[in-house]
Structure 1
Amino acid sequence: MDRDLAIDFLALNRRNDALRRGDVAGYGRPAIRRNAMPPAHIVSHNPATVSPPAGSYSLGLEVTQHRRLLFISGQVPERSDGNVPEGFEAQCEQAWRNVMEVLAAAGLGVAHLVKVTTFLTDRNQVVTNRTIRRQMLGEHQPALTVVIAETVDSKWLLEIEAIAAE
């Protein structure tokens, strides 16, 4: 394919993406919505007939009147320069910062999170993970799953994926 044609094709895709998002500032910049819609209505369901959540999360969240969903791929504890912090606490904070950056790139925040799955590499990380998650999410309590698993790269001590709704 001709290089000029490929560049034009990419520019067209960027323009279409920006238009679809309602981003008048341009591709990759914070969205400025032409027709602002109210945030999704999110209802927490914690029935008394089910064992209550052990931490700050909801057993189920119902999303109604949403305009869009954002699926955040598993975020590993790598900085943009490729460096991985030392120790679980620093890695957990970095993985959460990466989640927040993806949310921000879509013009969303932690209040839009409806589901978070965290993959830990050791059961001993559970309490520290819970503490850092609470710091990052504040009072917001999305549906939550924590799994003990092996990560693709052994230097990563966790991975976090999420779903957000607006």
Structure 2
Amino acid sequence: MSATDLEDLVKSLQPSQIAPPFARYSHGVEIPIGMRIVRTAGQLGMAQDGSVPDTAEAQANICFANIQAILAEAQMSAKDVCHVSAYVTDRIHFAGYMKARDAFVQGARVLPSSTLLIVSGFTRPEYLVEVEVWAAAR
């Protein structure tokens, strides 16, 4: 199945009655019956060697690299992501997270829906970002 076929299957929902998204995402995404679905666990910004970078952008890049590895196990890629949920520990981390997220969705067939929340913290204080996704493919 070609990318064009997938674009015809997974549909971006952008109702004209509401304000447009203020970033690179869709208000909703319709996934038709028959698609395979992958949902990742929340990924933290810890490298394989156990190190945790100091910046939200570097941590988010690790989160998205982990997500790419998980999707590859299901023969999927970032192009198949239909929703991204992310959590940051402070508003100051939005810009770094968004830079990593925008790079991740750069080649998306359909821009995913997206949720970004500020949380009080994670299991260890050095974590600044956590990301989880839903993906769909044939």
Please indicate the TM-score interval, normalised by the length of the shorter structure. 0.7 to 0.9
Q: Which runs of 5+ in 1 are unaligned?
A: 1-35
Q: Does 1:143 align with 2:113?
A: yes
What is the CA-CA distance between 1:101 and the residue it aligns to?
1.0
Code of the aligned partner of 1:135: A
Q: Deviations over 1:36-92 (max 9, x none)?
A: 897582000111111110000000000114331101000001112222122222111
Deviates more, 1:143-152 or 1:132-141: 132-141
State the partner residue of 2:20: 52
Q: Does 1:80 align with 2:48?
A: yes
Find the structure with the greater CA-based Rg.
Answer: 1
Q: Does 1:158 align with 2:126?
A: no
Code of the aligned partner of 1:145: T
- Cα distance 1:130–1:66, how it changes in 2: closer, same or farther (>3 A)? farther
* Residues paired across the two proteins, number: 131
Rounded Cα–Cα distance in structure 1 between residues aligned with 2:49 and 2:6: 34
SS in 1 for 2:86: strand
Aligned residues: percent identity?
Answer: 27
Residues 17-28 of structure 1: matches in 2 within 5 Å? none
Q: Which runs of 5+ in 2 are unaligned?
A: none
Rounded Cα–Cα distance in structure 2 between residues aligned with 1:52 and 1:117: 19
Residues 9-158 of structure 1: matches in 2 within 5 Å? 39=6, 41-140=9-108, 141-149=111-119, 150-158=121-129
Q: Deviations over 1:104-136 (max 9, x none)?
A: 121100111111100011101112211221112
TM-score when scaled to structure 1?
A: 0.73
Would you say the 8 A contact 2:55–2:96 is kept in 1? no
Greater relative contact order (Cα < 8 A, sep 6+)? 2
What is the CA-CA distance between 1:95 and the residue it aligns to?
1.0
State the partner residue of 1:17: none
Would you say the 8 A contact 1:39–1:66 is kept in 2? no
Q: Deviations over 1:128-161 (max 9, x none)?
A: 2112211121042100000001222211111001
TM-score when scaled to structure 2?
A: 0.86
